[in-house]
Structure 1
Amino acid sequence: MNLETLLSTNIIVPIAVAFVGFLIAVTTAVIAKEHKVSEFRQAWIDALREDLSKFYAVNYELIPIYTKGMLSAAEITKTFNENNLIFDELSARIILRLNWDEHKEIINVIDSIYDFRINFKFDSPDFKPLNMHLSNFLTQSKNILSTEWKVVKKGESLFLKFKYVSKILASTFLIAMYVLFTIALLQSSIFQW
């Protein structure tokens, strides 16, 4: 079989075109899906970051309210109760956004802050436990946001696997085509002698 026969038999060209078309279609679909998932993940990260910062601020603002002693007991109670409504909403939103298995530590910190608020004594306020919980909360928040940002930056693991498999398939196909054409050229040059 020589090169002219190989190309004129209409075997290789349609196979090559079909394979290249398939690779382009699948790659385009996977890239579009990955792009959309990245958009959703980025929106999720932005919303989570906003809720985490509000949660921190809502809890941190309790400290100056009590330590400065500028409010009456009734005003302190009113502020605390208003703050509790915001706290409950934000903690629910954060917990519902998180993966229970993956983010247990920050959920435990939120629960600890909740326990602190429930057991808070207005007559002798001690904010050392709250400061400790808020410090843990910031550390856990940074870890989650950093991890999620790395996923957005690198891409989903399925996409990365697909990318590597596609490179291997494309390389294999190109090598096979090269070998096939080389064999056909060698045979055609041998038969010409």
Structure 2
Amino acid sequence: MSPVYSTAFAVLEMKPEPYAVAPILAARVGIAALAEEPVHAIALRAQVRIEPFRRGYSEEEGAGLADLFGPRERWPATQRSFLWMHCATMVPGFTGGAEVDLPMPCTYDFEVTGSKYLHALREGVVPLLFLFSGTVFIKGSGGFAIQQIPWDREDKFDMPISVWHDLMAAHFPNTGWLRLRRDTLDALTAYKSGHGLLGFDDTVTRLLARAEELP
């Protein structure tokens, strides 16, 4: 088993990656190497979790979170930390300390718990927990030596929900994503074509209106 390497990590900032084709957040991570020898590289990994119990919610936000946590009186039991994503990057060599952008690919798929949670928030912050791990490459007696990042390296960061809203507005302006079964999609397509509708927004809007007209 590889020895551990003494390092510390801190999330300094989070912002949308402006030139990415797909929605990606960039987390600026500060790294401090507590040993004196230079680091040749780090294969850095992070598990990013959302801790919903660390903030309060308005009535409007609570209604949007009912699908995840149930009625508000059950939240003390249901609001547990949950996984948002895994992400990774290669950190180039440094001595003493460095800062690096950790890319965080995001999705607006409402079947994903993280997207559903973030969509419900209107203001405030997203309480995140970063759990860091990975491999550190340093100089050894016969070339490179490998050491592991200690298992307990973590940092909490409160990301303004406006960062998420800005990211999704840039890639999916005034839209969202829903995954449907193939047979459901085929039925919607047939309904749309059969009624001469221009798009799926018109199709769903008409179906909802007719459902409201039923006794």
Query: Which TM-score bucket, shorter chain as reference?
Result: under 0.3
Greater length-normalized contact order (CA 8 Å, ≥ 6 residues apart): 1
Compare the two structures and name the one with the higher helix fraction: 1
TM-score normalised by length of structure 2: 0.20
Greater Cα radius of gyration, structure 1 or 2: 1
TM-score normalised by length of structure 1: 0.21
